[in-house]
Structure 1
């Protein structure tokens, strides 16, 4: 089941200017393994992190360094999650994340699809007196 989708687009020249004005931002936003990439690749990774938050539907507890974008030997991007980001994704019933990155001209874009049983499906087996699904607090 698709739990959520998220998309984000970043203007690469604007992102470059922001990084030049605030050099410490690169260290705040990106894991050590990401920092030496081109500005275009950093913009796509920033878009990926933003798209992930949108797919999850809840930004509380997310820390930039807990979300790392990695690529396999064929260049396919994916997320490496740690800490509170991993916990938040699991809490929302997400077990699979699909990530697509794209660049065109001055734009970098990311699209995320989050899959899993989701919160509703996880709790659907528990029923309250009225027959409705029970949420995580036990209310009907």
Structure 2
């Protein structure tokens, strides 16, 4: 077993500009559950809070893809959902994983860290679920 880690940072304004400029970007990158989490509590997706939440989830997708060693993994194959107490929970290929995921955003920057175990060190792309 080995520990696989990934981290990523995203400029919130840059991601928001891409989402505003490219029709369908949000639907191509984020699942309905992720969008629902970002808009919980009546938050508009285009608001500063909604944009920061999207950027943090984008960073988590990138961090997970890095940890898995597969940057070609489709964005919808990595999903960040809130668990029953509101903490981020990583889902891989449609199933809840036991990998840890931490999100943060402040000062126009979003950050995510993903950590999990991979059974076979020679198999860089392994489904940990």
User: What TM-score comes out, normalization by structure 1 length?
Assistant: 0.70
Between the two proteins, the alignment pairs up a number of residues equal to 110
Paired residue secondary structure (1:74): coil
Q: Tell me, yes or no, if the aligned pair for 1:96 and 1:116 is still in contact at 8 Å.
A: no
- 1:33-72 equivalences under 5 Å are 33-36=33-36, 37=38, 38-60=50-72, 62-72=73-83
Partner of 1:128: none
Which runs of no fewer than 5 residues in structure 2 stay unpaired?
39-49, 124-129
- 1:13-92 equivalences under 5 Å are 13-36=13-36, 37=38, 38-60=50-72, 62-82=73-93
Q: Tell me, yes or no, if the aligned pair for 2:102 and 2:112 is still in contact at 8 Å.
A: yes
Partners of 1:51 and 1:98 in 2: how far apart?
11
Q: Tell me, yes or no, if the aligned pair for 2:67 and 2:114 is still in contact at 8 Å.
A: yes
CA RMSD, Structure 1 to Structure 2 (Å): 2.1
Higher Rg: 1
Partners of 1:19 and 1:69 in 2: how far apart?
18
Partners of 1:114 and 1:9 in 2: how far apart?
19
Q: Looking at both structures, which has the greater relative contact order when contacts are Cα pairs under 8 Å and sequence separation is at least 6?
A: 2
